[in-house]
Amino acid sequence: MKLEVSVLASGSSGNSIFIGDKKNSILIDAGLSGKKIEERLKMIDRDPTCIDAILVTHEHSDHIKGVGVLSRRFDIPVYANELTWQGAISNLGKISEANCKIFKDSFMFGKFGIEPFSIPHDANDPVGFIVNHRNNKISIATDMGFMPDDVKNKLKRSDFIIIESNHDLEMLMNGSYPWSLKNRIKGKKGHLSNDDTAAALPELIGDNCPSILLAHLSKDNNIPDLAYITIKNILEKEGFRLEKDLEMGFAYRDRPTQLYKIG
C-alpha cells in the first residue's frame, strides 16, 4: 500500500501537507482558509471529507488559519501539544472537546506512526514530524532557525524529506524588510537559509538518498533557481549527483505539488 504525499501550500501565506494511504488521510497544518484548503485538496483529486485528522506544528497563523473551520465543518480531530493548544485556541474558534487531542510523545493514527520532535522556532512549543508508514519514513522539518544535531539524527534514513530553504541571506540583508524582521528570520529561532539547508543535507542523505522537497521559500528573499543551485553545488562537492543519486523539487505557495507515491 503506497503512501501519498502532497504539499498543498508552503510559505508565509500558508502551509499545509496532505499525507494519505487508502484507509486514512491526514493534514499537517492547515494555514490557508478552509475554503482554500478544500480547493487545494480538489486540485489533487482528494475530497476534504477524507481527512481523518489535522496535526499542528505550532500556533502561527500561517499554520492554523483553517484548522478550526475544517474541524467544525468535517468533524475532524485536531492534534497538537499542550503549549501549542494554549497559543492557538483563541484563534481557532470553538472546536468540540472530543476533537481537541493533546499529544505528548509519539502516537499511532491508523497505520501512521507519528513522531513529533522539537524544533528551534519562536513559538510556544514548535515541532516537526516524522511519519512512519510500514517501512517508509516521511520527515517534515520547516520553520527552524538552525538544524540541531538531535534533529539531524531524527531526519536520517528518511525516504522523503520536506525541508525548509527559506531565504538567501544576501537577498534578505539587502532587501526591504525592517531590521527587526531580518534579525528574526536569520536568528536561532527563525528560518533556515539556503546555505543552512545545503550544509545539513549531505549528512541527512547518507547512503539511502531520499527524495527532497524544498519548502517555505520566501517570496521576497529567495528564488527557486538560487536555492536549487546553492544546494546542488554543495551536494556535488560531497559526491552526490542530483537527478541521478537523488531527486529534489519544490513546494509552492500558490498551488499543490504533485501527489508523490512512496513505498
Per-residue pLDDT, 243 = 80
Q: What is the pTM of this model?
A: 0.97
Q: What is the pLDDT of residues 39-82, one digit of tens each?
A: 999 999 999 999 999 999 999 999 999 999 999 999 999 999 99
**Helix/strand/coil (H, E, C) string of the chain?**
CCEEEEEEECCCCCCEEEEECCCCEEEECCCCCHHHHHHHHHHCCCCHHHCCEEECCCCCHHHHCCHHHHHHHHCCCEEECHHHHHHHHHHHCCCCHHHEEECCCCEEECCEEEEEEECCCCCCCCEEEEEEECCEEEEEECCCCCCCHHHHHHHCCCCEEEEECCECHHHHHHCCCCHHHHHHHHCCCCCCEHHHHHHHHHHHHCCCCCEEEEECCCCCCCCHHHHHHHHHHHHHHCCCCECCCECEEECCCCCCCCCEEEC
Per-residue pLDDT, 39 = 98
For the chain, the domains span 3-258
Residue 115 contacts residue 3 (beta carbons within 8 Å): no
Q: What is the pLDDT of residues 12-46, one digit of tens each?
A: 999 999 999 989 999 999 999 999 999 999 999 99
Per-residue pLDDT, 222 = 98
Task: Kindly tell me if the per-residue pLDDT of 1 is higher than 80.
Answer: no
Per-residue pLDDT, 263 = 84
Please report, for residues 50, 68, 165, 237, the alpha-carbon distance to residue 3 in angstroms, rounded to integers and kept in the order given.
Answer: 15, 26, 24, 32
Per-residue pLDDT, 241 = 86
Q: What is the pLDDT of residues 74-121, one digit of tens each?
A: 999 999 999 999 999 999 999 999 999 999 999 999 999 999 999 999
Q: What percent of the chain has pLDDT over 90?
A: 93
Contacts of 183 (CB under 8 A, 6+ apart): none
Cell 486514512 found at? 24
Task: Kindly tell me if the per-residue pLDDT of 209 is higher than 80.
Answer: no
- What homologous superfamily does CATH list for 3-258? Ribonuclease Z/Hydroxyacylglutathione hydrolase-like (3.60.15.10)
User: At 140, is the pLDDT very low, low, confident or very high (cuts 50, 70, 90)?
Assistant: very high
Task: Kindly tell me if the per-residue pLDDT of 207 is higher than 80.
Answer: no
Task: Kindly tell me if the per-residue pLDDT of 162 is higher than 80.
Answer: yes
Which of 223, 245, 222, 241 shows the shortest CA–CA distance to 232?
241
Q: How far apart are CA 136 and CA 20, in angstroms?
A: 13
Mode of pairing for the β-strands spanning 107-109 and 136-141: unpaired
Q: What is the pLDDT of residues 163-193, one digit of tens each?
A: 999 999 999 999 999 999 999 999 999 999 9
